[in-house]
């Protein structure tokens, strides 16, 4: 691989606050192909600070594809064009010399822009708080084989639990739906014995808060699954919908 730098044009979204009007600002950079896109933004900010200009505000934490706070839309794709990776894992060698990159925040009514590339994503935290936990006493740690769970079931639960809550599914959806996120968080509990006592109360509570926070509905375009950095399957949405319908019937039975 060539070690020569890539000359790129960056069109970066700049917005002072959620109340102000934003726009794209152009920057020219020369960057190593081995740098990640966040390292490229770090270099740009170092240059801007030396020039006495305001750096580009963006979020990141683990830089290992675990936390999801780095989420950006790059050339129209949440987390960029490479499948199954987070923004922090995207390297500049995936772009062509002379290419123009449009970098902007996740777009959704439920994700208001705080500054530049940073959005407020506490709506997803509130969905989790509504039911993404187990409140009953689970006792001590059981012996490994005391609670029998099939390999298929445990694998499905672990696959759902891989969701990092980054919001790429919301940014990818034309309706800004959070159904893939909620479906994954419902599934990771609903599939296991420990999640059964609160299974149907949980799904109702989480869906209610999802609606309250302004997330849209699902119309099965599959864009969420395609852009998810962890490859979460939309079968989790189907499982959530089934549980929600069952929960409604159970509620009616209890009321009658």
pLDDT at 57: 98
Burial class (CB in 10 A: 0-12, 13-18, 19+), 184: buried
133 has a pLDDT exceeding 80: no
Per-residue pLDDT tens over the stretch 220-239:
999 999 999 999 999 999 99
Q: Domain 6-115 adopts which CATH fold?
A: Ubiquitin-like (UB roll) (3.10.20)
CB contact burial 208-218 (16+ within 10 A = b; e otherwise): ebbeebebbeb
Cα radius of gyration rounded to whole Å, the chain:
21
Q: How confident is the model at residue 3 (pLDDT cuts 50, 70, 90)?
A: low
The domain limits of the chain are: 6-115, 122-255
If you average pLDDT over residues 60-73, what whole number do you get?
A: 93
Q: Are strands 6-14 and 100-104 parallel, antiparallel or unpaired?
A: parallel
Domain 122-255 has CATH 1.10.1060.10: yes
pLDDT at 87: 97
Per-residue pLDDT tens over the stretch 134-166:
777 767 777 777 778 899 999 999 999 999 999
pLDDT at 131: 87
Q: Phi first, then psi: give them for residue 94, nearest 5 degrees.
A: -85, 0
pLDDT at 12: 98
2 has a pLDDT exceeding 60: no
pLDDT at 1: 43
- List the one residue out of 187, 200, 209 whose CA is nearest residue 246: 200
Find all residues with CB under 8 Å of 200, minimum gap 6, and list them. 243, 246, 247, 250
Per-residue pLDDT tens over the stretch 20-31:
999 999 999 999
Q: Maximum Cα–Cα distance for the chain, whole Å?
A: 73
- Spatial separation of the C-alpha atoms in residues 116 and 78, rounded to whole Å: 16
């Amino acid at each position: 691989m060539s070690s020569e730098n890539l000359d790129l044009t960056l069109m970066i979204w700049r917005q002072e606050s959620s109340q102000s009007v934003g726009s794209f600002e152009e920057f020219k950079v020369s960057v190593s192909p081995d740098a990640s896109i966040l390292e490229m933004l770090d270099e740009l900010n170092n240059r801007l600070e030396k020039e006495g200009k305001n750096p580009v505000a963006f979020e990141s934490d683990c830089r290992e594809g675990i936390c999801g706070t780095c989420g950006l839309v790059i050339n129209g794709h949440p987390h960029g064009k490479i499948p199954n990776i987070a923004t922090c894992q995207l390297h500049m060698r995936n772009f062509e010399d002379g290419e123009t990159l449009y970098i902007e925040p996740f777009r959704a009514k439920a994700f208001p822009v705080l500054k530049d590339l940073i959005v407020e994503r506490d709506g997803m935290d509130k969905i989790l708080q509504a039911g993404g936990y187990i409140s009953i006493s689970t006792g001590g740690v059981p012996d490994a084989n005391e609670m029998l769970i099939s390999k298929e079931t445990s694998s499905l639960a672990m696959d759902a639990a891989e969701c990092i809550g980054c919001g790429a599914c919301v940014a990818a959806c034309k309706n800004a739906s959070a159904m893939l996120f909620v479906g994954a968080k419902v599934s990771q509990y609903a599939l296991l014995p420990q999640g059964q006592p609160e299974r149907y109360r949980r799904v109702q509570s989480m869906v209610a808060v999802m609606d309250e926070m302004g997330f849209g509905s699902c119309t099965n375009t599959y864009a969420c699954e395609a852009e998810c950095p962890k490859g979460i399957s939309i079968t989790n949405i189907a499982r959530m919908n089934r549980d929600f319908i069952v929960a409604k019937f159970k509620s009616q039975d209890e009321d009658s």
